[in-house]
Structure 1
Amino acid sequence: MSWSNVAIDEIFEVARGGSPRPIQKFLTDDADGINWVMISDASLSNKYITKTKQRIIPEGRKKSREVKTGDFLLTNSMSFGRPYIMKTSGCIHDGWLLLRPRSEQVHQDFFYHLLGSSEIYARFAARAPGSTVKNLNSEIVRETLVPLPPLEEQKRIAAILDQADSLRRLRQRAIDRLNTLGQAIFYEMFGDPIANQKGWPSKSLEELCDSINDCPHSTPTWTDKGVTCLRTSNITIGSWAWSDKRYVSEEAYHERSKRGYLKEGDIVLSREGTVGIAAIVPHEARWCMGQRLVQVRPSSSVMNSECLLRLLLYVLAPDRINHVMVGSTSRHLNVKELRKLRLIVPPLYLQNVFSERMKAISAFSSEYSTALMSSTCLISSLQHRAFRGEL
């Protein structure tokens, strides 16, 4: 069975988000404020955006783009093209694209799977100019062709894909909860790192590290195979994500590692985009950094990697990060200020106890990650067949 391919513009109104600037002047804690939808409000384990961490004052509405329940959002940079469905209203910045159905002949769940499929990603990427894909603009999305089966067929396909995807989401949710458990254990052992009720001594991040290296400020030249080059989309809260893996040549690997080669135990931190997320470089990883990342190597005599990771994830969480953020339009971590960041320093033996507990959690997480990969492959296979009319 085959269906006609139509431009997305015939199915959806497509528009880019906008941001009132400087954004800090428009943010509010008022309960009557308008939801301000950020990339960090989306989750890999949920296709819906149900709430936001921040709100803006009503005056910001005119300088942004309003969204409502039932709208689709697409990320247009970093890990571009990932779809989410709005289950609340609010405003979006220019890191999002809005897709609003033009008719009732659009089944939400079908288009969630279609827009997030590898086939449509490939069509987006093929239309992007240049050898690398930096951004997904509204024109590319409008003109991209997608299959449009009858509504009843959309519902049938969506039901099959939803059933398979529910297992993937459950496994992703389990991984997310394990990450949260690690933070809870940290809090129990060491208290609030900012309030420091336990009276631990403190030092600057620079004093706790052997090195802190900013990434090269150049766009990598991607290759079909080679050495893994990390991007912000590969980092989650305390772990790694490989749905979009990129490579560079051996020569580029060495060139991009001039400030410091990544090695086991280093922490890679996102300083732009979804700011403040970080993960530890594992054993035998041979990677280099793309853009918008910082390499942090703790000094083993005073701080271990697991403890420093949890400190950074806590202190640089979205509601606490403003003291080291700069830029009114593209907010990012100031590496100079990051070096000065004061952090508590619990005794090393307690840090090591914490690390042992984290190893146990990591073993469970690894099992779930393997299962998640299997679920993701199954979904991809089903989508491939479904959107060709073979399911």
Structure 2
Amino acid sequence: MTRWPTKPLEEIAELYGGSTPSRDRPAFWGGDIYWVTPTDLPMPDEGISVVSKTKDRITQVGLDNSSASVVPKGTVLFSSRATIGKVAIADMPLTTNQGFANFVPHSEVTSRFLAYALWFHREDIARLSGSTTFKEVSRSTLRKYHLPVPPLAEQERIVKLLDEADELRKLRAQADRRTADLIPALFCEMFGENAKKPHVRVKLEQIAEVVSGVAKGRKFNGRLPVEVPYLRVANVQAGHLDLSEIKTIQALPEEVEELALRKGDVLLTEGGDFDKLGRGAMLEQDLPNCIHQNHVFRVRVEQSKLDPVYFAKFLLTGEARRYFLGCAKRTTNLASINMTQLRALPVLLPPLSLQREFAARVSDIRAMQAEQAASRRRMADLFHSMLHRAFQGEL
């Protein structure tokens, strides 16, 4: 229990809503009034942002013909529908769409303290949206929501400590993003256009086995299937496998024996949305008796000719992406490749020693990434501990 008095939001801030002028009226758009939507803000777990620019602007006529209001610099924006809990502070006068509750603080609370308080309580506030499919916390509910209100000097002290901790957290995240760029940069350095020697290209079918998987919902005509884990399209991301949820499928014992995945196999998606076309990653661990669905291809390379780490990263290059997009069967917003097209993929094939050198350096980078991830978790834990203590009056 906090040692400070709590007050409803309606007593410490004025609440304003937003609106969207008609998109059918060109005169309402392209003006000089900044107009914010939730997509302008980072996801809730990334912390508090500052809005200094927006994708869209509206005109005074557009404002006059909507229920939106211009709110001043220092207003705290809180996304109150769909993705609830994005928090930002306006760095200039602006207006928003209807996805926000906008709080203009009274003199007894600072903008940054209010922003931290809303962000800390965002999950509790989100639960007030109820269990409907479309989540929304009403303005009347928000007005009655209580927050602790310490003296201004204490608010400023808390904000200073939290800002310092949050800055360290964000610097760690920036360093992690830079590290994530190292592997593509290394590939370009070793094998790109500026590489010292040109490399040959061979069709994938000459240096790897390519097979499809099993379909769900098949009939087995009296034969007895077994239930086994399998990887589906959702598990195969660009550059990594998401193994957080592995579902099961029925297959015949001989299929399991034939299709069982091994460490070092590379999995690719046949398509769907354009971003899923030829998306691939290498399996970095053993998954006993795990197979794959028919919308995923398994590539098992001849490791005496092609290193699987190198091949998985080659799939992320513009060259591979252009090949898949060029030969894919397309419909509106969808594209797919078949096994014949995948087997014909021209693979850049440097000397095996160079591929293995690349794989070793990738391993070093991943070790560094693992250390950074552990550091990031420690910083996040420290920051959230400080938040908890701050709003319990213990910081």
Instruction: Give the alignment's TM-score, normalised by structure 1.
Output: 0.56
1:174 and 2:168 aligned: no
- The equivalent of 1:6 in structure 2 is 8
Contact 2:212 2:297 in 1 (8 A): yes
- Of 9-18 and 342-351, the range deviating more from structure 2: 9-18
- The equivalent of 1:100 in structure 2 is 102
Residue aligned with 2:100, SS: strand
- CA 1:253 to 1:334, structure 2 compared with 1: closer, same or farther past 3 Å? same
**Distance in 1 of aligned mates of 2:311 and 2:159:** 43
- The equivalent of 1:149 in structure 2 is 149
Q: Structure 1: any 5+ residue segments left out of the alignment?
A: 22-29, 217-226, 289-293
Aligned pairs for 1:1-391 within 5 A: 1-6=3-8, 12-15=15-18, 42=42, 47-48=48-49, 72=77, 74=79, 81-85=85-89, 97-103=99-105, 105=107, 107-117=110-120, 119-125=121-127, 127-129=129-131, 137-139=135-137, 143-144=141-142, 145-150=145-150, 152=152, 153-191=154-192, 201=201, 210=211, 253-254=247-248, 282-283=284-285, 297-301=298-302, 304-305=308-309, 307-309=311-313, 311-312=315-316, 334=334, 336=336, 345-347=347-349, 349=352, 350-391=354-395
Deviation at 1:373, TM superposition (A): 0.8
User: Could you give the per-residue CA deviations for residues 319-359 of structure 1, whole angstroms, max 9, x where no partner exists?
Assistant: xx9x99x999xxxx736269979976221634443222211
Contact 1:183 1:310 in 2 (8 A): no
Contact 1:73 1:86 in 2 (8 A): no
Deviation at 1:368, TM superposition (A): 1.1
**Distance in 1 of aligned mates of 2:102 and 2:249:** 44
How many aligned residue pairs are there? 334
Residue aligned with 1:382, SS: helix
Deviation at 1:371, TM superposition (A): 1.1
Residue aligned with 1:383, SS: helix
**Distance in 1 of aligned mates of 2:48 and 2:36:** 18
- The equivalent of 1:224 in structure 2 is none
**Distance in 2 of aligned mates of 1:67 and 1:261:** 60
One-letter identity of the residue aligned with 1:184: A
Which structure has the higher relative contact order (CA within 8 Å, separation 6+)?
Answer: 1
Deviation at 1:366, TM superposition (A): 0.8
User: Could you give the per-residue CA deviations for residues 288-330 of structure 1, whole angstroms, max 9, x where no partner exists?
Assistant: 9xxxxx967544346735653564376899xxx9x99x999xx
Contact 1:110 1:158 in 2 (8 A): yes
**Distance in 2 of aligned mates of 1:191 and 1:110:** 49
Residue aligned with 2:393, SS: coil
Q: What's the RMSD between the two structures over aligned residues?
A: 6.4
**Distance in 1 of aligned mates of 2:209 and 2:35:** 38
| Bigger Rg, structure 1 or 2 | 2
- CA 1:180 to 1:139, structure 2 compared with 1: closer, same or farther past 3 Å? same
> Kindly, what percent of the aligned residue pairs are identical?
19
- CA 1:40 to 1:128, structure 2 compared with 1: closer, same or farther past 3 Å? same
**Distance in 2 of aligned mates of 1:305 and 1:150:** 55
Instruction: Give the alignment's TM-score, normalised by structure 2.
Output: 0.55
- Of 378-387 and 119-128, the range deviating more from structure 2: 119-128
**Distance in 2 of aligned mates of 1:90 and 1:160:** 28
Deviation at 1:76, TM superposition (A): 6.2
One-letter identity of the residue aligned with 2:113: F
- The equivalent of 1:219 in structure 2 is none
Deviation at 1:157, TM superposition (A): 1.6
- CA 1:199 to 1:378, structure 2 compared with 1: closer, same or farther past 3 Å? same
Q: Structure 2: any 5+ residue segments left out of the alignment?
A: 25-29, 218-228
**Distance in 2 of aligned mates of 1:142 and 1:231:** 43
Contact 1:179 1:237 in 2 (8 A): no
Deviation at 1:190, TM superposition (A): 3.1
